Amino acid sequence: MESQRHRSFSITIKLTTWLLLIATVSISPSHAVPRRGPYDEKPRYGNPITEIKYSSPSCRAHVSSLTEFGGVGDGTTLNTNAFRSAVEHLSQYSSTGGGMLYVPAGRWLTGPFNLTSYFTLYLHKNATILGTQDVNQWPLIDPLPSYGRGRDKPGGRYSSLIGGANLTDVVITGDNGTIDGQGASWWQKFHKNQLKYTRGYLIELLYSDQILISNLTLVNSPAWNIHPVYSSNIVVSGITILAPVHSPNTDGINPDSCSQVRIEDCYVVSGDDCVAIKSGWDEYGISYGMPSQHIVIRRLTCISPTSAVIALGSEMSGGIQDVRAEDITAINSESGVRIKTAPGRGAYVKDVYVRGMNLNTMKWAFWMTGNYKSHPDNNYDPNAMPEVTSISYSNVVATQVTTAARLEGIPNDAFTGICISNVTVSMAKSKKYTWTCTDVEGVSSDVSPQPCEPLQGKHEGSCPFPTESLPIDTVEFQQCSYTLP
Ligand SMILES: *[C@@H]1O[C@H](CO)[C@@H](O)[C@H](O)[C@H]1NC(C)=O
Ligand SMILES: *[C@@H]1O[C@H](CO)[C@@H](O)[C@H](O)[C@H]1NC(C)=O
Ligand SMILES: *[C@@H]1O[C@H](CO)[C@@H](O)[C@H](O)[C@H]1NC(C)=O
Ligand SMILES: *[C@@H]1O[C@H](CO)[C@@H](O)[C@H](O)[C@H]1NC(C)=O
Ligand SMILES: *[C@@H]1O[C@H](CO)[C@@H](O)[C@H](O)[C@H]1NC(C)=O
Ligand SMILES: *[C@@H]1O[C@H](CO)[C@@H](O)[C@H](O)[C@H]1NC(C)=O
């Protein structure tokens, strides 16, 4: 039944696509953009056919190629206008089956552009979208209300390479095509303090619902790679993120004041946290009051020598609740699932469940900090205390570890309800500092080497992990398939 339904669906799509492509190409003489077909260049070889297949919650009825909008994939022509007019053109189909922008093989230099609703951006395997290094091409946008300022600098910030706000049903996918931020010049300017504003991200979607980002490689972002903010129902799957391990703030995937998020089968090598869950900064985050919650992360592989595999915070002033991490692998990383907060942050980090971590060559297997001193300005409330409670780790094997755990709560605001079970930490040669704990309370079982005194209370069996799946785990995917002439 199931497969039959999918088959007939994809056939319908194929037919509609053909008809529409033929229709748009042949009967739109008044169309303002030049329609140089992507395949016109090789007529001698007949009509090469491109097959596209991907899985997504929704397929699209209308398809255009970037070349129809004047795009040139030579790595030097600026395609900002081609991307913008393609999206603009496809936005007209939001209520009639949605549109897909196909990015063919090639190197497509561009400045920032925004997406639209009921829209798919699809990258061919050999397509690379290149972010321009010309700072003047990056428009300035307002700071996020939950941050009050840019993260690098006070005031506004450069927009993200691929952006969008107030969207519904957005897909960014491809056959492992590449989005390259060409970040090196940004990192250099950042280090030399030559930037007046905060660097842009590679992908940022604000106030959006139903987002899929899958099967792509993201390299050398100027700063964070994937930043959904004030958004919900988000799947990030099959993403490879690569940046030099000393590049500044090249975080992998940062859900920020987002709900129902599923991150799976991702591989991240970066100069900052592989995944960082956030929800706003001090007084701005407290007054915006939008938590990050109901987040599942599974089958993540991370290399992050200077940062965490998964960080919670440090900007957590809208609260972070119900985070589930499973089957996590890390190599040469600073710490595992790390909590970062401070007086002034307010809100909470609670109901965090981690099960199954394989950590190799780590500075700290476990790390929590209550004195992460970075504030947006001096107007934060030093009495706004964060609540950190109900944090569980089980089934952890860590090798080549410098310090097993450094758990630092806040004086008179202890981190409570910590549970650690079935953990084996093997220390690196000649390292003898195992556990340091202050202002934390909890229980443990089967933990080696023996945890610090505040966690020596006995826990029976495994630490808790929710048994019910999240709604985002039950989203249905369809096979979308298209035949492009
Ligand atoms: C990503 O690609 C894999 C293998 O090519 C495929 O099985 C999977 O369905 C794709 N995932 C999504 C979300 O498109
Ligand atoms: C991608 O490029 C490589 C190297 O040029 C080529 O061998 C391969 O056939 C291309 N793949 C597709 C799907 O066009
Ligand atoms: C993209 O969207 C953002 C957020 O709504 C907006 O500030 C920016 O001006 C838009 N950029 C472009 C190029 O339209
Ligand atoms: C998007 O929605 C938010 C919240 O409703 C609103 O403040 C903002 O102005 C909207 N932005 C755009 C670009 O429509
Ligand atoms: C996608 O490309 C990246 C970079 O070349 C590679 O490391 C990764 O293995 C590829 N992923 C898949 C599923 O082929
Ligand atoms: C303890 O953890 C290991 C791997 O980390 C796992 O294979 C094993 O099943 C766990 N034991 C229990 C009782 O859960």
User: How confident is the model over 96-107, as pLDDT tens digits?
Assistant: 999 999 999 999
CATH for 82: 2.160.20.10
Q: Extract the runs of DSSP E, i.e. beta strands, from 168-208.
A: 168-174, 177-180, 203-206
- Would you state the structure tokens that stand for residue 145, as one six-digit string? 């209300």
Residues 213, 239: contact at Cβ < 8 Å? yes
Q: What is the pLDDT of residue 433?
A: 75
Element at 1 (helix H, strand E)? none
Closest ligand 6 atom to the C-alpha of 462?
A: 14
pLDDT digits (tens, 9 = 90+) for 283-340: 999 999 999 999 999 999 999 999 999 999 999 999 999 999 999 999 999 999 999 9
Q: Which of 48-62, 172-186, 400-414 has the lowest mean pLDDT?
A: 48-62
pLDDT above 70 as % of the chain: 90
* Token pair of 426 as six digits: 């093997």
Nearest to 158 by CA among 133, 192, 123, 188: 133
Q: Residue 305: inside a domain, yes or no?
A: yes
User: What would the mean pLDDT of 445-457 be, rounded to a whole number?
Assistant: 97
Q: Band the pLDDT of 25: cuts 50, 70, 90.
A: very low
| Beta bridge mates, 397 | 358, 424
Q: Is 382 inside a domain boundary?
A: no
pLDDT of residue 8: 33
Annotated catalytic residue within 169, 180, 256, 272: 272
* pLDDT reading at 160 higher than 90: yes
383 domain-assigned: no
Pick the residue whose CA is nearest to atom 2 on ligand 4. Answer: 166
Strands 232-242 and 226-229, sheet pairing: unpaired
Whether the per-residue pLDDT at 261 is higher than 80: the answer is yes
Angle at 413 between CA 411 and CA 414, to 5 degrees: 85
Residue pLDDT, tens place only, 218-249: 999 999 999 999 999 999 999 999 999 999 99
For the CA of 113, the closest atom of ligand 3 is 13
The average pLDDT across 460-467 equals 96
Strand intervals (E) in 409-450: 415-427, 435-438, 440-448
Model confidence pLDDT, tens digit, residues 319-331:
999 999 999 999 9
Q: Is 125 in the pocket of ligand 2 (CB under 6 A)?
A: yes
Amino acid, res. 431: K
pTM equals 0.92
On the question of pLDDT at 24 being above 60, the answer is no
Confidence of residue 9 (pLDDT cuts 50, 70, 90): very low
The pLDDT value given to residue 280 = 98
For residue 485, CA distances in Å to 11, 20, 39, 43, 341 come to 15, 11, 8, 12, 54
Residue nearest to ligand 5 atom 6, measured at CA: 240
Cβ 114 under 6 angstroms from ligand 3: yes
pLDDT confidence of residue 316: 98
Identify whether 385 is part of a domain. Answer: no
Interval 7-11 mean pLDDT: 35
Residue with tokens 């050999």: 126
Q: Is 273 a catalytic residue?
A: no
381 assigned to some structural domain: no
Pairing mode, if any, of strands 157-158 and 140-141?
Answer: antiparallel
pLDDT at 49: 79
The set of long-range contacts for 286-291, using a CB threshold of 8 Å and a minimum separation of 24, is 286/317, 286/318, 286/346, 286/347, 286/381, 286/384, 288/145, 288/146, 288/257, 288/317, 288/318, 289/318, 289/319, 290/146, 290/230, 290/257, 290/318, 291/257, 291/259, 291/318, 291/319, 291/320, 291/321, 291/347
Ligand nearest, relative to CA of residue 216? 5
- Please give the pLDDT value at position 15: 33
- Mean pLDDT throughout 268-272? 97
pLDDT confidence band for 27 (50 / 70 / 90): very low
Q: Among 136, 159, 198, 206, which residue has the most ligand 3 atoms within 8 Å of its CB, making it the best to mutate? A: 159
Instruction: Give a yes or no: residue 252 inside a domain.
Output: yes
The closest-lying atom of ligand 5 relative to the alpha carbon of residue 219 is 4
Q: Phi, psi at residue 474, to the nearest 5°? A: -110, 10
Q: Please state the domain count of the chain.
A: 1
Query: Is residue 379 situated within a structural domain?
Result: no
Cβ 112 under 6 angstroms from ligand 3: yes
Domain that holds residue 18: 2-373+390-483
Cα(451)–Cα(460) distance, integer angstroms: 16
Q: Is 153 exposed, middle or buried (0-12, 13-18, 19+ CB in 10 A)?
A: middle
The atom of ligand 1 lying closest to the CA of 477 is: 13
Pocket test for ligand 6, best of 358, 422, 460 (most atoms within 8 A of CB): 422
pLDDT at 428: 94
For ligand 6, atom 10, the nearest C-alpha belongs to: 395
The pLDDT tens digits of the residues spanning 386-397 come to 999 999 999 999
Q: Is the minimum distance from the CB of 122 to ligand 1 under 6 angstroms?
A: no
Q: Is residue 384 part of a domain?
A: no
Say yes or no: CB of residue 472 within 6 Å of ligand 3: no
132 within 8 A of 179, measured Cβ to Cβ: no
Mutate which of 42, 125, 176, 215 for ligand 2? The one with the most ligand atoms within 8 Å of its CB, which is 125
